[in-house]
Amino acid sequence: MPGQGAVESSGAARLMSPKAALSVVSNVLGAVLGTTALVFIAQNMGPSALGIIGYAMASIGILSFLSDFGMGSVHRTHIKHSVDVAKCIGAYAAIRLVLLGIFSAVTLVLIELWKSGVVDSDLPGNQVVLAQLVDSMYIFLVYYVLLGISQIATHTFDALDSMAKVHVPAILELVVRVSFVIYVTTSPLADTANGPALLASAYAAGMVASMLLVAMLMRSYPISKPDRYMVMSYIRALIPVFIVSMTFILDMFLDKLVVGYFWGEFELGLYFGVQRMSVFVGVFSLSVATLILPSVTTYFIKRDVAASWEVVNQAERYVSLVVVPTAAFYLMYGSDMIRSFLTDDFAPAVTTMDLLVISATVLALVLPLRSVIVGVGRQVTLFMVNIGGLAIQLVLMLILVPDSLLGIDMMGLKGLGAAAALLVTSVYYFFVLRYMAWRIGKILPNSRSFKHLASALVMVGTMYVVDWLIVPTVDWLALVLLAVLGVLAYGTSAYLMGELDKEDYRNFREMLNPQDTFQYVVNELVGKRA
């Protein structure tokens, strides 16, 4: 089975592979392209258009669990343990298509009820805004349906460890989407009433391009008619993963819905904009958490606690090495970043971005620990943890975000309240996941993170002195140069503290070797499925 050798390798080796490099590149490129699109929208269409897109995406996205029910996780498990891949694909395709039909029907009904006033639609904003919102919702429905169809293939590729076939279509989708956004925002179309709907159409256009490539890559894979026994096997495995999947989706979209509902498209645009600006804090952690899962699973099955601890400890160390200085840069230059890359309209949201950055940092540091819980089959436990986090998040948001609720005065902190709620929730996840990791695998916190913090302070001090002495105005070019200086100062400090050594530099250089990564991608895309 593809990927078997990688599973048996050490955690460090797995992190420093062409597949690891591709995952990191894909996530970082996604963050770069997403931020590029954000900049063009913010500078040419303003917070309100961004808020409309954010609310439409969240409204449809939060219902998207109906199109999956966690089936992607079930499919990956079945593929890895089945000798008949064709039956697995056939069963999964049949179930996903049925679920997509249910999702589409329910969503269309809810939109129509919302338009007619049967479902509460008392959102801030005029009728033009509401019309733009509805049009964008329809387009995002198309996007999520296309995504669901595409995932029949991409989840299969993922299960067979064909990561190039997963990431390359995703990169193509991003490129097409961002190109579409740039065209819309720099043309007269940006000032029309259809502007937000056209931005939503960029998502659908990107997904169409991705689907065409996925369809080509899927041609060599066998697909059989749905087998009743296999279909029932999928359904029986559904309940625990469905619950976990639903909590993840709620966690992804809840904050946007709450801010948008109580404060309208402008305030949501401010919140959504700075949230997207802070996305770089967590991208590396997500890649690492995904990459170590197979190794963690294997070691725990073998009851090799020491090996599993080594994998997670190494993952946490690399995450901390990247996340801590990134967060420090954001906290130091957040206001300048907003002014340089967005507009002055977003300046009131700088404190919101600071809280979001701290929240993302706290969560990123323990995200690899989720692999421990999933790897030992504790999905139900993870569900209980997620339910607790969602409850905390929702209660705090309903207290902090609205001006009033059911006639009771609340804090009225808008997006800042949502960011504060997410920070408290992240702290909750930090301590609970740390405790669970210790109970399951005796995995202790990586004490070397204190050296990363000390090196980040050296970085901040260096940038402050240079900024004070040399930089007349902090614009986007100055930010780039200061970031380069910060990386050099951080790396030097970490090296002098003994936290970075020649082996680390060699590992990172090997992982980010473009030639090896490119060759791996070419071999997989043009080669036959193993």
Return d(Cα 36, Cα 81) in angstroms, integer: 41
Helices and strands (H and E) in the chain: how many: 20, 2
Mean pLDDT comparison of 159-163, 220-224, 255-259, 470-474, highest-scoring range: 255-259
CB under 8 Å to 408, separation ≥6 — which residues?
A: none
pTM confidence score: 0.90
Q: Which of 155, 19, 167 is nearest to 80 (CA)?
A: 155
Instruction: Say what the pLDDT of residue 443 is.
Output: 72
- Cα–Cα–Cα angle for 446, 447, 449, nearest 5°? 80
Instruction: Say what the pLDDT of residue 377 is.
Output: 65
The region that residue 442 occupies, defined by phi over 0 for left and psi between -120 and 50 for alpha, beta otherwise, is: left
Mean pLDDT comparison of 155-159, 282-286, 400-404, highest-scoring range: 400-404
List, as one string, the DSSP characters of 108-135. HHHHHHHHHTSS----SS-HHHHHHHHH
Return d(Cα 495, Cα 509) in angstroms, integer: 16
Q: What confidence tens digit (pLDDT) does each residue in 420-437 have?
A: 999 999 999 999 988 888
Provide mean pLDDT across the span 172-200: 93
Instruction: Say what the pLDDT of residue 381 is.
Output: 78
Percentage with pLDDT > 90 across the chain: 53
405: β partners? 408
Q: What confidence tens digit (pLDDT) does each residue in 288-316 have?
A: 766 665 666 566 656 666 666 677 777 78
Instruction: Say what the pLDDT of residue 28 is.
Output: 86
pLDDT higher than 70, residue 237: yes
Q: Which of 284, 290, 265 is nearest to 134 (CA)?
A: 265
Q: Which of 517, 530, 525 is nearest to 17 (CA)?
A: 517
Mean pLDDT, the chain, integer: 86
Give the residue, 48 or 306, on which the prediction is more confident. Answer: 48
The region that residue 473 occupies, defined by phi over 0 for left and psi between -120 and 50 for alpha, beta otherwise, is: beta
Instruction: Say what the pLDDT of residue 522 is.
Output: 87
Distances (CA, A) of 517 to 86, 248, 509, 511, 513: 29, 31, 12, 8, 6
Q: Are 386 and 244 in contact (CB under 8 A)?
A: yes
Q: Are 167 and 22 in contact (CB under 8 A)?
A: yes
Instruction: Say what the pLDDT of residue 3 is.
Output: 37
Provide mean pLDDT across the span 39-54: 94
Q: For residue 443, give the 3-state DSSP assignment.
A: coil
pLDDT higher than 60, residue 400: yes
Return d(Cα 222, Cα 215) in angstroms, integer: 13
Q: For residue 355, give the 3-state DSSP assignment.
A: helix
Provide mean pLDDT across the span 5-22: 55
pLDDT higher than 80, residue 284: no
Q: Percent helix, strand and coil across the chain, each rounded to 5? A: 85, 0, 15
Q: For residue 80, give the 3-state DSSP assignment.
A: helix
Q: For residue 404, give the 3-state DSSP assignment.
A: strand
Instruction: Say what the pLDDT of residue 159 is.
Output: 86
Confidence band, pLDDT 50/70/90 cuts, at residue 375: low
Return d(Cα 293, Cα 371) in angstroms, integer: 5
pLDDT higher than 90, residue 185: yes
CA 501 to chain CA centroid, Å, is 30
Q: Hey, where are the domains in the chain?
A: 36-277
